């Protein structure tokens, strides 16, 4: 999609927090002409200076209130643990009729923290783009991040249908597929597909770090694809993931309990030499990988499409 093919969905969009997702949203919106103006704010002066230097956002503001003033869409792109506090800061200057959204990977906790601060006449439509890399910061974003990925909208009780439709149009204009989902179901799905896998990756990398019989140079030099992908996942932003696990505690613990049961069953099969169980299990799980590739959510290329960009 080009600018000539799209018309602005919003006159002014305010991005609060200027990391990977916010910066990618800006470049994707500019690529397709989806917003008349995009303002941005980050708590760190250094981040704001970097954003100005690279041309991120049409206008970088020094306070969140300045950034959201007059915006018809405000997107919270900060760690989920501080969204409630940020919402309280900006609430007095939110424009009547504006939509407030977010990009957090936990939804129930965000809704409970943010909703009490929303003024009457402002529409709250939480969202979550299922896209990302291990990189963070204002320089990490790129316009193609959301192409052919999913963005989940999680309307709250009483969400305005027109506000939901406009937000859907924005995400679709940025290249994403869009579905709506209940907050609790979202948090359980993400515990399976993202949160627990990240915790397992952090754990495996931590095990390698603790295993002093294996030197650091050997871990790095002989990293096969499995461990290498674990390190890629485990390199993700630590503040964001700390907050994810603390705010999606119940769903993550439920999935980790199921994981532990499966792991014990595999341990037993290895200990007892039950090759039939192992082969059947690996055959079943292999089909999941094929399904992901067939759905266009990854590639079967040797480098999984993560090689250097040309």
The tokens describing 64, both together, are 């969140």
pLDDT confidence of residue 181: 95
Residue with the larger pLDDT of the pair 34 and 203: 34
Contact 124, 114 (CB under 8 A): yes
pTM of the model: 0.82
Question: Once rounded to an integer, what is the mean pLDDT over residues 9-30?
Answer: 97
> Is the pLDDT assigned to residue 305 strictly greater than 50?
no
> Is the pLDDT assigned to residue 215 strictly greater than 70?
no
Q: Residue holding tokens 């299990």?
A: 281
pLDDT confidence of residue 209: 72
Residue 40, SS3 per DSSP: strand
Tell me yes or no: is domain 185-273 CATH 1.10.3660.10.
yes
By percentage, how much of the chain surpasses pLDDT 70? 89
> Is the pLDDT assigned to residue 46 strictly greater than 90?
yes
The tokens describing 180, both together, are 């709506």
Question: Once rounded to an integer, what is the mean pLDDT over residues 295-300?
Answer: 72
CB atoms within 10 A of CB 237: 18
pLDDT confidence of residue 308: 45
Domain ranges of the chain: 3-181, 185-273
Bridge partners of residue 73, in order along the sequence = 13, 99
pLDDT confidence of residue 169: 98
pLDDT confidence of residue 34: 98
Tell me the C-alpha distance between 124 and 163, whole Å: 8
> Is the pLDDT assigned to residue 11 strictly greater than 70?
yes
In this structure, are strands 150-153 and 127-130 parallel, antiparallel, or unpaired? Answer: antiparallel
Q: Which of 12-16, 23-27, 104-108, 232-236 has the lowest mean pLDDT?
A: 232-236
CATH number of 3-181: 3.40.50.720
Res. 2 pLDDT band, cuts 50 70 90: very low
pLDDT confidence of residue 222: 66
Q: Which of 40-49, 99-108, 180-189, 288-297 has the lowest mean pLDDT?
A: 288-297
By percentage, how much of the chain surpasses pLDDT 90? 67
Q: State whether the Cα torsion 125-131-135-138 is positive or negative.
A: negative
The tokens describing 173, both together, are 């204009």
Q: Which of 119-133, 170-184, 199-213 has the lowest mean pLDDT?
A: 199-213
Contact 41, 18 (CB under 8 A): yes
Average pLDDT along the chain: 89
Angstrom CA distances, 187 to 109, 149, 251, stand at: 9, 18, 7
Tell me the C-alpha distance between 135 and 185, whole Å: 27
pLDDT tens per residue, range 224-264: 667 777 777 777 788 888 998 999 999 999 999 999 999 99
> Is the pLDDT assigned to residue 304 strictly greater than 60?
no
pLDDT confidence of residue 295: 75
* Helices within the chain (DSSP H only): 20-32, 45-54, 64-68, 83-90, 108-114, 161-173, 183-190, 196-210, 216-221, 225-234, 238-247, 249-272, 275-294
> Is the pLDDT assigned to residue 301 strictly greater than 70?
no
Q: Which of 21-25, 34-38, 147-151, 195-199 has the lowest mean pLDDT?
A: 195-199
Angstrom CA distances, 283 to 262, 271, 278, 280, stand at: 15, 20, 8, 5
pLDDT tens per residue, range 152-193: 999 999 899 999 999 999 999 999 999 999 999 999 999 988
């Amino acid at each position: 999609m080009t600018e000539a093919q799209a018309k602005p969905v919003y006159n002014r969009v305010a991005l609060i927090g200027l990391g990977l997702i916010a910066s990618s949203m800006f470049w994707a919106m500019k690529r397709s002409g989806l917003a008349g103006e995009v303002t941005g704010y980050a708590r760190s002066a250094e981040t704001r200076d970097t954003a100005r230097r690279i041309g991120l956002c049409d206008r970088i503001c020094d306070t969140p209130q300045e950034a959201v003033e007059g915006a018809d869409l405000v997107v919270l792109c900060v760690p989920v643990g501080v969204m409630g506090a940020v919402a309280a800061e900006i609430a007095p200057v939110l424009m009547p009729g504006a939509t407030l959204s977010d990009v957090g990977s936990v939804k129930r906790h965000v809704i409970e923290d943010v909703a009490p601060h929303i003024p009457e006449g402002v529409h709250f439509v939480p969202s979550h783009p299922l896209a990302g890399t291990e990189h963070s910061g204002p320089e990490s974003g790129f316009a193609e991040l959301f192409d052919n990925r999913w963005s989940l909208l999680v309307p709250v009780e009483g969400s305005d249908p027109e506000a939901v439709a406009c937000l859907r149009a924005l995400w679709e204009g940025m290249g994403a597929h869009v579905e709506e989902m209940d907050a609790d179901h979202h948090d359980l799905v993400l515990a399976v597909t993202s949160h627990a896998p990240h915790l397992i990756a952090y754990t495996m990398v931590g095990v390698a770090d603790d295993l002093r019989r294996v030197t650091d140079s050997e871990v790095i030099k002989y990293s096969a694809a499995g461990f290498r992908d674990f390190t890629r996942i485990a390199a993700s932003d630590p503040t964001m993931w700390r907050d994810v696990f603390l705010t999606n505690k119940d769903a993550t613990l439920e999935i980790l309990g199921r994981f532990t049961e499966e792991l014990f069953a595999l341990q037993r099969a290895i200990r007892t030499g039950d090759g039939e169980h192992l082969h059947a299990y690996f055959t079943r799980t292999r089909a999941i990988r094929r399904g992901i590739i067939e759905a266009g959510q990854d590639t079967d290329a040797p480098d999984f499409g993560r090689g250097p960009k040309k």
